[in-house]
Structure 1
Amino acid sequence: MYNEPIFLKPVFKDRIWGGTKLREEFGYEIPTETTGECWGISAHAHGPSEVLNGPLKGESLNSVWDKHRELFADQEGEDFPLLVKILDAKTDLSVQVHPDDSYAREVEGEAFGKTECWYVIDCEPGAELVYGHHAGSKLQFEEMVNENRWDELLRKVAIKPGDFVYVPNGTIHAIGAGTMILETQQSSDVTYRVYDYDRRDDEGNLRELHIEKSIEVAMIPHEDADFEPVLSGNDDLRIKKLVKESYFTVYHWNLAGAVAEVENPSYLLVSVLDGEGELQVEGGTTSTFSKGDHFIVPSTIKSFGMNGDARFIVSHPSI
Structure 2
Amino acid sequence: MTQEPIFLQPVCKEKLWGGTLLRERFGYDIPSETTGECWAISAHPHGMSTVKSGPYQGKTLMELWDQHRELFGGTEGDRFPLLTKILDVKQHLSVKVHPDDYDAEDHGLGETGKSECWYIIDCKENAEIIYGHTARSKAELVTMINSGDWEGLLRRVKIKPGDFYYVPSGTIHAICAGALVLETQQNSEAAYRIYDYGRTDQNGQARELHIRDAVNAATVPHVDGFLDESTETRKGVTIKTFVQGEYFSVYQWDISGTAEMTQDAPFMLCSVTEGSGSIICEGKSAKLEKGAHFILPDQMPDFTINGDCTIIVSHI
Structure 2: distance between partners of 1:112 and 1:179: 27
Q: Which residue of 1 aligns with 2:314?
A: 315
Distance 1:307 1:214, change over 3 A: same
Residue 108 (structure 1) aligns with:
108
Q: Match of 2:304?
A: 305
How far has the Cα of 1:105 moved from its partner?
2.0
TM-superposed CA distance for 1:108, in Å, is 3.5
Aligned residue identity for 1:288: K
The corresponding residue for 2:277 is 277
SS at 2:43 equivalent: coil
TM-score, L = length of structure 1:
0.97
Q: 2:202 corresponds to which residue?
A: 202
Residue of structure 1 in register with 2:130 after alignment: 130
Amino acid at match of 2:56: L
The Cα of 1:51 is off from its aligned counterpart by 0.4
Does residue 1:27 correspond to 2:13, yes or no?
A: no
Structure 2 residue identity aligned to 1:270: C
Q: What amino acid is the match of 1:188? A: S
Q: Which residue of 1 aligns with 2:63?
A: 63
- Does 2:43 correspond to 1:54? no
> What is the aligned partner in structure 2 of residue 85 from structure 1?
85
The CA distance in 2 between the partners of 1:263 and 1:60, in whole Å, is: 22
| CA distance in structure 1 between the partners assigned to 2:162 and 2:194 by the alignment | 28
Match of 1:294 in 2: 293
1:174 maps to 174
The AA in structure 2 aligned to 1:157 is V
* Equivalent position SS for 1:136: coil
**Alignment partners' CA distance in 2, 1:110 and 1:287:** 38
Q: Residue 189 of structure 1 corresponds to which residue in structure 2?
A: 189
| Counterpart-to-counterpart distance in 2, 1:161 and 1:213 | 33
Q: Deviations over 1:206-241 (max 9, x none)?
A: 111110110110001101122221111325110001
Deviation for aligned residue 1:298: 0.4
CA separation in 1, counterparts of 2:110 and 2:38? 21
> For residues 152-184 of structure 1, what are the alpha-carbon distances to aligned partners after superposition, in whole Å with 9 as ceiling and x for unaligned?
100000111110000000000000100110000
Structure 2: gaps of 5 or more residues: none
* Distance in structure 1 (CA, Å) of the matches to 2:247 and 2:38: 21
CA contact (8 A) 2:263 2:299 kept: no
Aligned residues: 316
For 1:308 and 1:315, locate their aligned partners in 2 and report how far apart those are by CA, in whole Å: 20
Kindly report the root-mean-square deviation, in angstroms, between the aligned alpha carbons of the 2 structures.
1.1
- Check if 1:149 corresponds to 2:144: no
Matching of residue 232 in structure 1 with residue 232 in structure 2: yes
Using the size of structure 2 for normalisation, the TM-score is: 0.98
- Supply the AA of the counterpart residue of 2:163: D
Contact 2:236–2:255, Cα closer than 8 Å, also in 1: yes
Q: Report the secondary structure of 1:74's partner residue.
A: coil
Partner of 1:245: 245
Whether the aligned pair in 2 keeps the contact of 1:264 and 1:302 (CA below 8 Å) is no
- Please say if residues 79 and 111 of structure 1, whose CA atoms lie closer than 8 Å, have aligned partners that are also in contact: no
Residue 3 of structure 1 deviates from its aligned partner by 2.1
Q: Identity, % of aligned pairs?
A: 51
Deviations 1:177-200 (A, max 9, x none): 001100000000111110000000
CA distance, structure 1, for counterparts of residue 247 and residue 49 of structure 2: 21
User: Which segment is superposed worse, 55-64 or 103-112?
Assistant: 103-112
State the one-letter code of the partner of 1:30. Answer: I
Asked if 1 retains the 8 angstrom alpha-carbon contact of 2:230 and 2:242, the reply is: yes
SS in 2 for 1:170: coil
Paired AA for residue 292 in structure 1:
G
Instruction: Give the letter aligned to residue 145 of structure 2.
Output: V
Q: 1: distance between equivalents of 2:123 and 2:201?
A: 25
Q: CA deviation at 1:278?
A: 1.1
1:99 equivalenced with 2:86 (yes/no): no
CA drift of 1:2 comes to 4.2
Q: Show CA shifts across 1:6-61 (max 9, x none).
A: 11010111111000111111111101111000000000111110000111100000
1:94 is aligned with what amino acid? Answer: S
Alignment check: 8 A CA contact 1:22 1:28 kept: yes
